[in-house]
Structure 1
Amino acid sequence: MHLISGMAPLIRAVLSKLIGDEEAKNIEIVANDAKIHPDGKWEILYRHPSSGYGHDKSQAILPYRRLSNPPTVFFFGDGVSDMSAARHANVLFVKKKPGMDNDLAAYCTHEGIPHLLFENFHGALPVVKKVVDGQLSVPEALALGQV
Structure 2
Amino acid sequence: MAPLIRAVLSNLVGEESANEIDIIANDAIVHSDGKWEIKYRHPSSGFGHDKSQSILPYRDLANPPTLFFFGDGVSDISAAKHADLLFVKVKGDGENDLASYCNKEGIKHVLFEDFSKALPVVQSVVAGEKTIAQIIGA
TM-score by length of 2: 0.80
Matches within 5 A, 1:126-145: 126-143=120-137
Matches within 5 A, 1:90-129: 90-129=84-123
In the alignment, structure 1 residue 33 sits paired with structure 2 residue 58: no
In the alignment, structure 1 residue 82 sits paired with structure 2 residue 76: yes
Instruction: State the alpha-carbon separation in 2 of the partners of residues 73 and 66 from structure 1.
Output: 12
Shift of 1:110: 0.9
Cα 1:51–1:99 shift into 2, 3 Å: same
Cα 1:102–1:28 shift into 2, 3 Å: same
TM-score by length of 1: 0.76
Structure 1 unmatched runs, 5+? 1-6
Identical aligned residues as a percent: 62
Paired residues, what number?
136
8 Å contact kept, 2:10–2:17: no
Q: Secondary structure at the match of 1:31?
A: coil
Shift of 1:11: 4.1
Q: Secondary structure at the match of 1:35?
A: strand
Superposed CA RMSD in Å reads: 2.6
The structure with the largest strand share of the pair is 1
